Amino acid sequence: MKLFGIGQAFASERQQQRQSADLRNEAEEFELASDGGYLLLLKGVLFALFGYYNARLFIVTIGSWEGYMTAFCALAGEGTALYCINNYTRSAGAHRAGLGLFGVLLTLFSITHASISFFRMESGATSDRVRFYCENVAFPLLFSLLLLAAVAIPLLHWRKKIATEQAKAQVKIASSRAHLLAESSRMRGENLLERERLDQLEEQIKMENEYIGKLEQFARLKEREKGVIESIADPAVREQIATSMGMNTGQPPPQRRVAPLPPINRAAFPSRGPQTEQRAGGNSPNA
């Protein structure tokens, strides 16, 4: 019984291995639907046909070099529409929305003009309204669509957002650098101003030191002058020299001696009586 159970277990394991191998083979052989192949070829053929009918419409209707220029712009519109459709699934955000919008507008523009070119020209009926539209409306409209697509689609690209963030970062770096340079310049200016103040203070201290030295020399000179004057023995000469030099010795000036008057010789004058003396005195009441 044990041998029978072991054989049954081996058989079950081999069966599970075969099932696992079958599942792996099935998974490897399974293929998802491709976005290329037939549909990509069909899309290319359709846009080539639309381009041909668009070019023929403008060349036949307008003629001359203007018709060829409009036909070239129509072919450029075909190429732009094909570019938008092919890259729609490989983008995201605003860029994807722009690709979808311009892809639809340019495709509708192409289909409309291709239909006009086929049904009107094949029947040989080119009406005045179709000619007026091709000469006056179609080219400005096509040119405006191409211009908007050429400007808007690159601006909506995700790399532009990254470039914008990089530009903001660079602006912040440049602003910080400019602020740092301005701050450094301000600090250098303040340091230079303080240095000038220190130099001015040192110059003032130097001048005051020189001034004090000169005052000390002047004081010593005055002391010498005073000593020289006080060393003069003659008081009159000492006072004269001190006065001429504007100095005060602190001693009273010497008194000038006045010679005494000679005695009056009364014998030389006649004697006067009391009356004469009274008249001479001017004290008479009758005078």
Contacts of 81 (CB under 8 A, 6+ apart): 47, 102, 103, 106, 107, 109, 110
Which of 280, 262, 261 is closest to 271 using CA atoms?
A: 280
Q: Which helix or strand (DSSP H or E) is residue 275 part of?
A: helix 274-281
Given this model, what pLDDT does residue 262 score? 59
Residue 198 corresponds to which tokens in the numbers above? 């220190």
pLDDT at 216: 86
Domain extents in the chain: 39-156
Q: What is the mean pLDDT of each run of 10 residues along the chain (287 residues)?
A: 59 75 70 66 81 80 78 84 84 84 86 77 61 75 84 82 85 90 90 90 89 86 80 76 68 52 54 47 43
How much is the pTM?
A: 0.47
State the pLDDT at residue 122.
56
* pLDDT value of residue 281: 46
